[in-house]
């Protein structure tokens, strides 16, 4: 029981760190960057759930991140335009507001769409794919192709989506100036709180009966099926939850950073998220969050020192982690403990059940 | 055996803590804010281009010429008695990164101004950052116009200094039927909108308008379409690698410069090397500067640049980047301060002799007066001027002085 208490104490102290210490210690500009990392952490949490717990290697989370981001950006653009056409439509030669855009003038619909569109697409994809028992590398390739196709679609429809430019230049984020320090601070708190709530929610899910079923599906899908469960449903629901998280992350990213563009959603950014989760430790939700924050922080600070070098380091780090510490940074602790135990001649503890590793 | 509930979080707790202490040290940087980069014995200026990714090949050359200008100014004692200190950042060919790095340069490094950008997308991404922070950006590349931010100086051409003269040239040569080919992004689409309006008013006919994705390399279908349409000339707004494939496939289909002139607005000396001069020799291009442009200023610029970068060519965007640094320094000297509003005020009407000739900043639009030059690509890869506007053309980003352009913006 004291372990559990200690766990809560740790969560509380991280919350304290993020909600009190960081806003006091960091200059406004760095706090804004931290908010960006937390947005990626939300998307990474979804990957941790789908991949780490459910074994679904999704290489296309950028699609859902983008759907959420564009839904939010479309609302902000329409709000700024105040009845006129958004600026990029004017340059692109569009004369009337496209029908697709009309619902996004309403803040309620736009916010609902952030989650709903991602979930709907994930469910449709999940039903089609998981019922056909497509899994493993085939599922990974499929999601990656989806990310590639989504980017081509966005770039090609310049009048509808802003093309390669994406959507940017928002003057008014829910009645506030997006570049003002107060607004950025508020956005940071919102992002941190959303991450905390989603983390706790995801933890509960993993601890629940559903979570055990999910891990069982990951480790022995056929056995689960023979026991009378439908793995397709379990996987579809999980995939939809991870899509919703990515959608929320995208929607928060837009006001935090001030832009959404196809370059954020394609194959490479989707892969970078997965790499971050792997480096942090995919079997633990905390590892996914940690990986996303640390990797993105490293990316920013590294590119300030050595432009262009980050990609090499990221690749090298990924290879190192995959070969030496497949459970990522968070798993290192357990690896080290097991190695120590072996040295002392104490038989290593029986292979830990995956759901316990996850905790 | 009960496992601790949140134990992995222990590890998670350590790293952000380290991260915070690492960043915390920066908070002291804010102490010298206000005057904008003017602290101690140096003035910090930002240089923000893609040093990695697909745009690096073009943008690094502009970065190099901007660094040359900074060195030249420092060699002469700097500005206001202080040396310039360049803070270089990588936009990584990624527009959101440009916005973030611009934030960093303004807020953390407190630079006096930023020189940067190439693609319109990167400029559009940076624009809100500079406007909200009331900081200055000098953008060195020809672009599609229809923009005039109070916090951006545009030292490249707007449409009436490049595309419209290009069309005038084609019209003068009696080309009546034209075909439009472009990459699918904002510059070609906007440029073609303007070209169509011009064609309508000038008795020209647009036979077709085709866009291909950035990086596209399969042009045989498009070349066939052009062959069937039989235009007098093609107006080309393709960008980057696509030009290599397009010109190769055009040439192998039997269309050379004599049979079908292709007027390009994104191909300069640097790009000619990549396309292969045998594929493109004899084709016309529209710019405001060539390496061969006559004048002492240019001879000195080319010599200085080649002394640092052996075998390198100089191109229009490079020259515009070089100009930007010198124009800013002149404005700061005139203002006696690096304060953004004072520099803006001093810059209006400012005139300098630069490699392309006399360059004057137009106060209201913050664009520059530029001489339009049509050139023909030579077998040695350089570009020879065959036509020029008699004097620098006043920038008109919204094409307000052209009756045919009403309704475009």
Residues 193-212 of A with CB under 8 A from B: none
How far apart are alpha carbons A305 and B160 in whole angstroms?
40
Question: Parallel, antiparallel, or unpaired: how do β-strands B177-183 and B233-237 relate?
Answer: parallel
Q: Which of B4, B11, B109, B398 to mutate to test the interface with A (most CBs of A within 10 A)?
A: B11
Can you give the pLDDT at residue A346? 60
pLDDT digits (tens, 9 = 90+) for A179-206: 788 898 999 999 999 999 999 999 999 9
How far apart are alpha carbons B141 and B150 in whole angstroms?
17
Inspect the interface and report whether the beta carbons of A304 and B89 lie closer than 8 Å.
yes
Q: What is the pTM (predicted TM-score) of this model?
A: 0.85
Q: Is the pLDDT of residue B43 over 80?
A: yes
> Six-digit token pair at A188?
């940071």
Inspect the interface and report whether the beta carbons of B186 and A14 lie closer than 8 Å.
no
pLDDT digits (tens, 9 = 90+) for A77-123: 999 988 888 988 887 778 889 999 999 999 999 999 999 999 999 99
B360 at interface of A, judged by CB pairs closer than 8 A: no
B121 at interface of A, judged by CB pairs closer than 8 A: yes
Cα angle A281-A235-A134, degrees, rounded to a multiple of 5: 100
Q: Which residues contact B163 (CB under 8 A, 6 or more apart)?
A: B191, B194, B195, B265, B286
Contacts of A10 in chain B (CB under 8 A): 6-7, 9-10, 13
**In the block, which residue shows the tokens 């480790």?**
A219
> Six-digit token pair at A303?
């590119």
User: Which has the closest alpha carbon to A118: A41, A191, A51, A63?
Assistant: A63
Exposed / middle / buried, residue B359 (Cβ in 10 Å: 0-12, 13-18, 19+): buried
A95 at interface of B, judged by CB pairs closer than 8 A: no
Domain ranges of chain B: 159-289+372-405
Can you give the pLDDT at residue A244? 98
Task: Specify the DSSP element, H or E, that contains B165.
Answer: helix B159-172
Spell out the SS3 assignment of chain A. CHHHHHHHHHHHHHHHHHHHHHHHHCCHHHHHHHHHHHHHHHHHHHHHHHHHHCCCCCCCHHHHHHHHHHHHHHHHHHHHHCCCCCHHHHHCCCCCCCHHHHHHHCHHHHHHHHHHHHHHHHHHHHHHHHHCCCCCHHHHHHHHHHHHHHHHHHHHCHHHHCHHHCEECCCCECCECCCCHHHHHHHHHHHHHHHHHHHHHHHHHHHCHHHHHHHHHHHHHHHHHHCCCCHHHHHHHHHHHHHHHHHHHHHHHHHHHCEECHHHCCHHHHHHHHHHHHHHCCCCHHHHHHHHHHHHHHHHHHHHHCCCCHHHHHHHHHHHHHHHCCCHHHHHHHHHHHHHHHHCCCCCCCCCCHHHHHC
**Percent of chain B predicted with pLDDT > 90:** 75
Contacts of A332 in chain B (CB under 8 A): 11
Q: Is the pLDDT of residue A3 over 80?
A: no
Contacts of B407 in chain A (CB under 8 A): none
Can you give the pLDDT at residue B221? 94
B206 at interface of A, judged by CB pairs closer than 8 A: no
For residue B144, count other CB atoms closer than 10 A to its CB: 22
For the question of an ipTM over 0.85, the answer is: no
Q: Which residue has the higher pLDDT, B27 or B182?
A: B182
Inspect the interface and report whether the beta carbons of B190 and A91 lie closer than 8 Å.
yes
Can you give the pLDDT at residue B30? 38
**In the block, which residue shows the tokens 């030669």?**
A93
How far apart are alpha carbons B267 and B122 in whole angstroms?
19
> Six-digit token pair at B265?
């607005």
Tell me which CATH homologous superfamily contains domain B159-289+372-405: Response regulator (3.40.50.2300)
Q: Which residues contact A273 (CB under 8 A, 6 or more apart)?
A: A40, A43, A44, A47, A61, A62, A292
Q: Which residue has the higher pLDDT, B282 or A301?
A: B282
> Six-digit token pair at B70?
């900074």
Q: Is the pLDDT of residue A350 over 80?
A: no
Counted across chains A and B, CB pairs separated by less than 8 A come out at 207
Q: Alpha carbon of A3 to those of A340, B4, B8: distances in Å?
A: 21, 5, 12
Q: Which of B12, B46, B101, B215 to mutate to test the interface with A (most CBs of A within 10 A)?
A: B12
Whether B359 and B382 have beta carbons less than 8 Å apart is answered as: no
Which residue in chain B is spatially nearest to A301 when comparing CA positions?
B23
pLDDT digits (tens, 9 = 90+) for A12-65: 888 999 999 999 999 888 899 999 999 999 999 999 999 999 999 999 999 999
DSSP B57-120: HHHHHHHHHHHHHHHHHHHTT-BTTBEEEEEEEE-TT-HHHHHHHHHHHHHTS--S-EEE--SH
Report the pLDDT averaged over residues B55-80: 94
Contacts of B151 in chain A (CB under 8 A): none
Q: CA dihedral in degrees (B265, B269, B274, B275; nearest 10)?
A: 50
How far apart are alpha carbons B377 and B386 in whole angstroms?
10
Q: Is the pLDDT of residue B34 over 60?
A: no
Q: Is the pLDDT of residue A348 over 60?
A: no
How far apart are alpha carbons B172 and B242 in whole angstroms?
28
B31 at interface of A, judged by CB pairs closer than 8 A: no
Q: Which of A29, A299, A313 to mutate to test the interface with B (most CBs of B within 10 A)?
A: A29
How far apart are alpha carbons A217 and A232 in whole angstroms?
9
Q: Which of A6, A259, A308 to mutate to test the interface with B (most CBs of B within 10 A)?
A: A259
How far apart are alpha carbons A289 and A198 in whole angstroms?
11
Query: Mapping DSSP to helix (H, G, I), strand (E, B) and coil, where does residue B4 land?
Result: coil
pLDDT digits (tens, 9 = 90+) for B347-389: 999 999 999 999 999 999 999 999 999 999 999 999 999 999 9
B120 at interface of A, judged by CB pairs closer than 8 A: yes
Report the pLDDT averaged over residues B258-286: 93
Whether B281 and B379 have beta carbons less than 8 Å apart is answered as: yes
How far apart are alpha carbons B181 and B172 in whole angstroms?
21
Can you give the pLDDT at residue B37? 57
How far apart are alpha carbons B17 and B9 in whole angstroms?
12
pLDDT digits (tens, 9 = 90+) for B274-331: 888 999 999 999 999 999 999 999 999 999 999 999 989 999 999 999 999 999 999 9
Can you give the pLDDT at residue B402? 93
**Percent of chain A predicted with pLDDT > 70:** 94
Whether B361 and B327 have beta carbons less than 8 Å apart is answered as: yes
> Six-digit token pair at A356?
């316990």
């Amino acid at each position: 029981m004291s372990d559990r208490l200690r766990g809560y104490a740790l969560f509380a102290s991280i919350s304290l760190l993020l909600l009190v210490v960081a806003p006091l210690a960091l200059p406004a500009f760095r706090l804004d960057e931290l908010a960006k990392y937390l947005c990626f952490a939300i998307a990474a949490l979804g990957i941790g759930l789908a991949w780490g717990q459910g074994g679904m290697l999704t290489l296309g989370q950028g699609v859902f991140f983008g759907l959420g981001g564009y839904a939010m950006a479309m609302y902000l653009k329409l709000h700024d335009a105040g009845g006129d056409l958004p600026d990029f439509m004017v340059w692109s030669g569009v004369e009337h507001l496209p029908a697709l855009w009309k619902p996004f003038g309403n803040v309620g619909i736009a916010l609902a769409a952030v989650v709903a569109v991602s979930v709907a697409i994930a469910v449709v994809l999940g039903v089609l794919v998981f019922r056909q028992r497509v899994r493993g590398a085939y599922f990974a390739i499929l999601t990656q192709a989806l990310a590639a196709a989504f980017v081509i679609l966005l770039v090609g429809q310049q009048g509808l989506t802003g093309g390669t430019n994406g959507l940017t230049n928002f003057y008014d984020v829910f009645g506030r100036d997006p570049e003002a320090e107060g607004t950025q601070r508020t956005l940071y708190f919102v992002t941190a709180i959303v991450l905390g709530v989603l983390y706790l929610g995801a933890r509960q899910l993993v601890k629940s009966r559903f979570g055990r079923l999910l891990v069982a599906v990951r480790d022995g899908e056929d056995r689960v099926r023979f026991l009378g469960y439908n793995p397709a449903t379990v996987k579809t629901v999980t995939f939809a939850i991870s899509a919703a998280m990515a959608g929320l992350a995208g929607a928060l990213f837009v006001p935090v950073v001030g832009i959404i563009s196809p370059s954020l959603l394609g194959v490479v950014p989707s892969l970078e998220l997965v790499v971050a989760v792997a480096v942090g430790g995919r079997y633990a939700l905390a590892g996914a969050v940690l990986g996303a924050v640390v990797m993105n922080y490293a990316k920013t600070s590294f590119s300030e020192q050595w432009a262009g070098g980050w990609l090499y380091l990221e690749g090298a780090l990924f290879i190192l982690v995959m070969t030496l510490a497949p459970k990522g940074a968070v798993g290192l602790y357990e690896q080290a403990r097991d190695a120590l135990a072996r040295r002392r001649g104490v038989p290593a503890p029986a292979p830990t059940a995956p759901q316990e590793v996850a905790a | 055996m009960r496992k601790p509930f949140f134990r992995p979080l222990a590890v998670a707790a350590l790293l952000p803590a380290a991260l915070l202490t690492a960043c915390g040290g920066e908070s002291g940087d804010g102490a010298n804010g206000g005057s904008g980069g003017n602290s101690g014995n140096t003035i910090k200026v930002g240089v923000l281009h893609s040093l990695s990714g697909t745009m690096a090949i073009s943008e690094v050359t502009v970065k190099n010429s901007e660094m040359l200008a900074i060195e030249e100014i420092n060699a002469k004692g700097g500005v206001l008695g202080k040396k310039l200190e360049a803070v270089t950042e990588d936009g990584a060919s990624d527009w959101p990164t440009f916005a973030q790095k611009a934030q960093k340069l303004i807020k953390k490094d407190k630079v006096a101004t930023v020189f940067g950008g190439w693609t319109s997308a990167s400029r559009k991404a940076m624009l809100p950052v500079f406007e909200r922070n009331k900081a200055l950006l000098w953008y060195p590349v020809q672009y599609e116009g229809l923009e005039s931010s109070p916090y951006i100086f545009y030292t490249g051409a707007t449409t009436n200094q490049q595309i419209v003269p290009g069309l005038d040239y084609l019209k003068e040569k009696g080309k009546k039927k034209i075909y439009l080919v472009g990459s699918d992004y904002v510059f070609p689409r906007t440029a073609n909108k303007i070209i169509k309006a011009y064609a309508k008013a000038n008795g020209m006919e647009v036979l077709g308008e085709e866009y291909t994705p950035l990086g596209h390399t399969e042009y045989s279908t498009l070349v066939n379409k052009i062959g069937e349409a039989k235009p007098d000339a093609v107006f080309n707004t393709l960008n980057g690698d696509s030009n290599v494939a397009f010109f190769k496939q055009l040439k192998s289909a039997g269309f050379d410069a004599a049979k079908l002139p292709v007027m390009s607005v994104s191909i300069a000396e640097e790009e000619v090397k990549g396309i292969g001069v045998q594929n493109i020799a004899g084709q016309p291009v529209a710019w405001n500067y060539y390496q061969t442009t006559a004048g002492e200023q240019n001879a000195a610029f080319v010599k200085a640049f080649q002394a640092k970068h052996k075998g390198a060519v100089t191109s229009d965007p490079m020259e515009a980047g070089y100009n930007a640094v010198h124009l800013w320094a002149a404005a700061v000297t005139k203002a006696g301060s690096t304060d953004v509003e004072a520099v803006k005020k001093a810059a209006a009407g400012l005139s300098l002799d630069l490699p392309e000739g006399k360059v004057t900043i137009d106060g209201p639009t913050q664009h520059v007066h530029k001489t339009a030059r049509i050139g023909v690509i030579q077998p040695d890869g350089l570009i020879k001027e065959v036509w020029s506007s008699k004097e620098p053309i006043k920038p008109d980003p919204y094409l307000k002085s052209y009756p045919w352009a009403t309704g475009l913006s």
